[in-house]
Amino acid sequence: MQVGLEKIVVLGSGGTIAGTAASATDSRDYRAAQKPVVDLLAGLPVPAGCELLSEQVAQIDSKDMDLAVWQKLLQRCLHWLAQPGVRGLVITHGTDTLEETAYLLQTVLAPRKPVVLTCAMRPATALDADGPQNLLDALAVAACEGAQGVVAVSAGRILGPQDVQKVHSWRLDAFSAGEAGDIGRVRHGRIERWRDWPQPVVPQETLLEALLSAVALPRVEIVLSHAAACAATVDALADPAVAERYGAPPLQGLVLAGTGGGTVHRELEAALRRAQAAGVRVLRSTRCADGMLQSRPGDEFPVAPGLSPVKARLALMLELLAP
């Protein structure tokens, strides 16, 4: 460790960026979360004035993200962000739930230093792997003067935690911030920025404590409204006897991924009303990728403005968890 250099700490959590396949030409049949984060950094240039530290926090396919990994990630972020010599953090993460981790970290930490999530669509063993460039770009963002908050960096784009969404199942440029737009770009190691960095807010210490000590997250499910919908889905979700049969906690919240402007099939609407009357919190979002919902006076089911269904679910879980 050299004196005078600022530290960028890279936390590994798994994903395709750490994935391996049997052949360098295979980007389809591979196993995510195999390579240690220290190996992903080997040979990468270090931003000027910085040194890199790394830590393996988890090694998972992010489809399996859970409370325990989030708690560990939060604890390590808190630890490193509190060190005066640390300039910023980079987290290597799977693409599949990166947007949920980004939203969660920003909501509970809202850090004054940059926390940059990055990922890859091709495994580390691929001839044309995208992970090394994404990691390099993420390090440039973490080292950038004035950068702050949780952001995602992929395919040269810098995206905000509220807006970032995986929108493509195989393209390298798989993320979008929708009509909110990107925060900026990383090109040849330089940052071009068009929007503000995510703003730090007063730390939600009691929420953070509740989250760190929780043994489970409040149970909140997502219901998609579609043509020819059937009320039985919602009734079964809200039925305490069904939950008990499966050893699941009773339902506390439902997020509606509504059609268009957050509308709902009449069958589901009646069932959502029954669930709400039984004490289940219902929050409305839209299955459209763009077009922020607006609340209206007298809304029967409150809206989650600007949040995709998965993020609205997290917002509701955090609200239910808050002391």
CB of 24 to ligand SIN, least distance (A): 18
Q: By rule CB under 6 A, what count of residues binds ligand SIN?
A: 12
Q: Is there a contact between 20 and 124 (Cβ–Cβ < 8 Å)?
A: yes
Indicate whether 16 belongs to the interface with ligand SIN (CB under 6 A).
Answer: yes
CB of 17 to ligand SIN, least distance (A): 6
Q: List the one residue from 27, 92, 95, 101 that touches ligand SIN (CB under 6 A).
A: 95
Residue nearest to ligand SIN (CB): 94
Q: Is there a contact between 251 and 233 (Cβ–Cβ < 8 Å)?
A: no
In whole angstroms, give the CA distance from residue 149 to residue 321: 23
Q: Which stretch binds ligand SIN (CB under 6 A): 9-17, 84-92, 106-114, 265-273?
A: 9-17
Count other Cβ atoms within 10 Å, centred on residue 204. Answer: 16
CB of 272 to ligand SIN, least distance (A): 31
Q: Is there a contact between 153 and 177 (Cβ–Cβ < 8 Å)?
A: no
Q: Is there a contact between 155 and 174 (Cβ–Cβ < 8 Å)?
A: yes
Is 263 part of the annotated catalytic residue set? no
CB of 55 to ligand SIN, least distance (A): 18
- Letter string b/e over residues 154-190, b meaning 16 or more CB atoms within 10 A of that residue's CB: bbbbbbbbbbbbbeeeeeeebbbbbebebbbbbeeee
Residue nearer to ligand SIN on the CB measure, 63 or 187: 63
CB of 119 to ligand SIN, least distance (A): 5
Count other Cβ atoms within 10 Å, centred on residue 245. Answer: 9
Instruction: Identify the active-site residue in 16, 95, 125, 286.
Output: 16
DSSP label at residue 303: B
Phi, psi values for residue 25, rounded to 5°: -100, 5
CB of 93 to ligand SIN, least distance (A): 7
Q: List the one residue from 26, 61, 235, 319 that touches ligand SIN (CB under 6 A).
A: 61
Residue nearer to ligand SIN on the CB measure, 94 or 258: 94
Residue nearer to ligand SIN on the CB measure, 253 or 309: 309
Q: Which stretch binds ligand SIN (CB under 6 A): 14-22, 147-155, 280-288, 291-299?
A: 14-22
Count other Cβ atoms within 10 Å, centred on residue 228. Answer: 6
Q: Is there a contact between 139 and 52 (Cβ–Cβ < 8 Å)?
A: yes
CB of 131 to ligand SIN, least distance (A): 9
For tokens 């609205």, the residue is 312
String of contacts with ligand SIN for each residue 17-56, x by CB under 6 A: ---------------x------------------------
Q: List the one residue from 57, 119, 139, 143 that touches ligand SIN (CB under 6 A).
A: 119
Q: Which stretch binds ligand SIN (CB under 6 A): 12-20, 155-163, 175-183, 256-264?
A: 12-20
In whole angstroms, give the CA distance from residue 161 to residue 98: 9
Q: What is the dihedral of CA 253, 213, 86, 202, to 10 degrees?
A: 60
Q: Is there a contact between 301 and 208 (Cβ–Cβ < 8 Å)?
A: no
Residue nearer to ligand SIN on the CB measure, 15 or 309: 15
Residues that bind ligand SIN (CB under 6 A): 14-16, 32, 61-63, 94-96, 119, 121
Active site residues: 16
